[in-house]
Amino acid sequence: MNLIDQQIEASWAEVLKDDFQTDSFGKLGSFLEEENRRFSVYPPMNSMFQAFNLCPFSEVKVVILGQDPYHGEGQAHGLAFSVPEGIKAPPSLKNIFKELKSDLNLEIPLNGNLSSWAKQGVLLLNATLSVRKSEAGSHQKKGWEEFTNSVIRKLNEGREGIIFLLWGKFAQEKASIIDASKHFILEAPHPSPFSAHRGFLGCKHFSKTNVLLEKAGKNKIDWQL
């Protein structure tokens, strides 16, 4: 199944049409075909663009940047930090839920599917949109980063007032391609158990995001799952 044959939401297809024609993206597609032939790759090919399909270009209000999809069986479904219903929340997602409870006094959800956030305008974007089973980082530097950096640039140039939540050093490096005079950047350590205690827990990014949205006359995000 060819990557370029995958369906992506119409507004994104238009915005990213030139990116799909690059040599880099063509090589990425060939790499993924070979990987899928030889290994288990997550998420399934037809879910790799799910973040875009649930959140059209013109409706993006918030961007949460992740690094890699989860590499355990059944975990990744195309949305950064999210897992399908019925799958146990990984440690980073558990810390996100802890912060939601502390910040907004929301009950810890029984499932980790963040699709409802995406449908409200939260682009849950990983820098790399695929991974080989049980091998974290295995699809880095294969072309995904050029593609997702272009996504961020297109949002930066074509939209205004987006709130970028940059958690951890990797995400924070993307600040260099975001114009802080026309968008909002909120930074915190990564929600991973290795770093969450250094300032992710207590960052109040969820309430701060809603304050910024309200000031801009936009609907707040209902963070409760």
| The dihedral formed by the CA atoms of 84, 126, 201 and 117, expressed in degrees to the nearest 10 | -50
Cα–Cα distance measured from residue 48 to residue 163, given in angstroms and rounded to the nearest whole number: 23
Residue among 5, 18, 68, 103 flagged as catalytic = 68
Cα–Cα distance measured from residue 62 to residue 19, given in angstroms and rounded to the nearest whole number: 22
Residue 220 CB contacts under 8 Å (≥ 6 apart), including other chains: 210, 213, 214
Q: Helix, strand or coil for residue 13?
A: helix
Active site residue 68: yes
Cα–Cα distance measured from residue 155 to residue 149, given in angstroms and rounded to the nearest whole number: 10
Pairing of strands 184-188, 122-126: unpaired
What are the residue numbers of the active site? 68
